[in-house]
């Protein structure tokens, strides 16, 4: 049995042919054209209950740059973020001229820890430019504190790259958030369209700024009036995005079914008793992959290597954590005890839409055998 880590399954061309025909008629190929407009309107109506504003971007990294750039406090230096995130988060802050300041995560939720955040805010004072939490692995992190922070004058941009489609009580994660929430539509995310992303805000002015800055920061007279760039998606990308929206609920159901198999088989095989841990999280998540922490004093990289030998491709997102990578290791940080512990234990297991129950059963069974120290060589 060969089980790849991911097997992206984007909508097929037949599903967006009608949208492509609309492009042939409109002769609009970019610049926030009619399909882009239709996509943004549908996203707000179908996922955000008609509440708030959004702008598409050509990927989430650009979205983060535009959001940070629009909201950061001027004359301040630091972007506070977890080290346990994808490198796009610190890279985006650096492109905005900021220095990342890494803080620790909670032991169980694997997202930014409140106590560490308070400490950083106190320590950095007026040098704090922005706070960038990460909604870890698509989870609906508690945004109440961040809303208060944003309203108190410390801007917040949430990296919610894997959280488009994550809901709590039927509401999309991020709905009404007054700062910015950035989602990725990369092929490897649940809402995969190839390359793409979206910035959401409850504040219309913020989205207007981001949309405008993503189009060279043009004034109505086509004069650049700010630090603009080109972050627009083409109408062809919007066509694929619309077709993906047409089937997204089914895609989410499929992903949740596979995740439920994981929980069932991992627990049936007694992995919890052996010290394996799943993430503690809130929300209904369109799982991108299956994250798991291996037992204390094990090394997930060694387990991943053993899995590879029996045909199971596993990863270790996000190990190394940001502060352990060459581009970031000289940047300042608070205590990172939980982060460093988790990076030795984090294991990302395969999850893709055509996975069968027997794939999941085989993976759970293999982990069980590894944990008991038996050889799994077939």
Ligand X SMILES: *Cc1c(COP(=O)(O)O)cnc(C)c1O
Q: Using the rule CB under 6 A, is 322 a contact of ligand X?
A: no
Least CB distance to ligand X at residue 150 (A): 19
Least CB distance to ligand X at residue 189 (A): 6
Q: Pick between residue 19 and residue 134 the one whose CB is nearest to ligand X.
A: 134
Q: Pick between residue 60 and residue 106 the one whose CB is nearest to ligand X.
A: 60
Give the chain's largest Cα–Cα span.
Answer: 71
Which of these segments, 10-18, 81-89, 99-107, 121-129, binds ligand X (CB under 6 A)? 81-89
Least CB distance to ligand X at residue 119 (A): 23
Which of 161, 314, 322, 346 lies at the binding interface for ligand X (CB under 6 A)? 161
| Whole-Å CA distances, 36 to 41, 134, 335 | 9, 26, 43
Q: Pick between residue 161 and residue 293 the one whose CB is nearest to ligand X.
A: 161
| Whole-Å CA distances, 78 to 37, 68, 201, 260, 330 | 35, 11, 22, 40, 14
Which of these segments, 99-107, 157-165, 279-287, 334-342, binds ligand X (CB under 6 A)? 157-165
Which of 6, 68, 88, 140 lies at the binding interface for ligand X (CB under 6 A)? 88
Least CB distance to ligand X at residue 105 (A): 13
Which 3 state secondary structure label does DSSP give 139? coil
Which of 53, 134, 177, 289 lies at the binding interface for ligand X (CB under 6 A)? 134
CA distance 256 to 295: 25
Q: Using the rule CB under 6 A, is 85 a contact of ligand X?
A: yes
The 258-277 contact track toward ligand X, x by CB under 6 A, reads: --------------------
Other C-beta atoms closer than 10 Å to the C-beta of 67 total 34
CA distance 164 to 199: 11
Give the burial string for 323-354 (b: 16+ CB within 10 Å, else e): beeeebeebebbebebbbebbbbbbbbbbbbe
Q: Pick between residue 117 and residue 162 the one whose CB is nearest to ligand X.
A: 162
Residue indicated by tokens 């490198």:
87
The 38-77 contact track toward ligand X, x by CB under 6 A, reads: ---------------------xxx----------------
Least CB distance to ligand X at residue 348 (A): 11
CA distance 85 to 61: 13
DSSP 32-52: S-HHHHHHHHHHHHHHSTT-S
Site for ligand X in 176-195 (CB under 6 A): 184, 186
Q: Pick between residue 70 and residue 367 the one whose CB is nearest to ligand X.
A: 70
- Residue 66's contacts (CB-CB under 8 Å, 6 or more residues apart) are 57, 199, 210, 213, 214, 229, 231
Which of these segments, 28-36, 84-92, 96-104, 322-330, binds ligand X (CB under 6 A)? 84-92
Q: Which helix (H) or strand (E) holds 366?
A: helix 357-371
* Number of residues this chain uses to bind ligand X (CB under 6 A): 14
Per CB under 6 A, residues contacting ligand X are: 59-61, 85-86, 88-89, 134, 159, 161-162, 184, 186, 197
């Amino acid at each position: 049995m060969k089980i790849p880590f991911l097997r992206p399954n984007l909508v097929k061309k037949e599903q967006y042919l009608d949208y492509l025909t609309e492009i042939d008629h409109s002769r609009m190929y970019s610049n926030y054209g009619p399909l882009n407009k239709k996509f943004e309107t549908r996203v707000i109506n179908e996922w955000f209950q008609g509440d708030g504003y959004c702008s598409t971007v050509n990927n989430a990294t650009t979205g983060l740059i535009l959001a940070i750039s629009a909201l950061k406090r001027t004359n301040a230096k630091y972007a506070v973020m977890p080290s346990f995130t994808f490198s796009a988060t610190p890279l985006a802050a650096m492109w905005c001229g900021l220095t990342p300041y890494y803080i620790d995560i909670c032991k169980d939720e694997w997202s930014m820890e409140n106590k560490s955040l308070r400490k950083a805010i106190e320590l950095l004072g007026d040098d704090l430019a922005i706070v960038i939490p990460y909604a870890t692995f698509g989870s609906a992190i508690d945004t109440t504190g961040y809303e208060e922070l944003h309203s108190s004058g410390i801007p917040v941009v949430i990296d919610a790259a894997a959280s488009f489609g994550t809901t709590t009580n039927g509401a999309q994660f991020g709905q009404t958030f007054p700062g910015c929430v950035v989602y990725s539509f990369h092929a490897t995310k649940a809402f995969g369209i190839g390359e793409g992303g979206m910035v959401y805000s409850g504040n219309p002015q913020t989205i207007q700024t981001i949309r405008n800055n993503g189009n060279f920061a043009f004034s109505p007279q086509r004069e650049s009036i700010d630090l603009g760039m080109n972050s627009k998606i083409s109408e062809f990308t919007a066509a694929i995005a619309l077709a993906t929206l047409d089937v997204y609920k089914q895609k989410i159901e499929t992903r949740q079914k596979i995740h439920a198999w994981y929980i069932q088989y991992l627990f049936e095989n007694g992995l919890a008793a052996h010290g394996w841990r799943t993430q503690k999280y809130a929300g209904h998540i369109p799982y991108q992959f299956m994250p798991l922490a291996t037992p204390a004093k094990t090394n997930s990289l060694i387990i991943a290597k053993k899995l590879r030998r029996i045909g199971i491709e596993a990863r270790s997102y996000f190990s190394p954590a940001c502060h352990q990578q060459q581009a970031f290791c000289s940047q300042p940080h608070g205590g990172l005890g939980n982060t460093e512990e988790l990076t030795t234990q984090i294991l990302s297991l395969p999850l893709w839409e055509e996975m069968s129950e027997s794939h999941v059963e085989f993976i759970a069974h293999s982990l069980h055998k590894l944990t008991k120290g038996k050889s799994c060589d077939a």
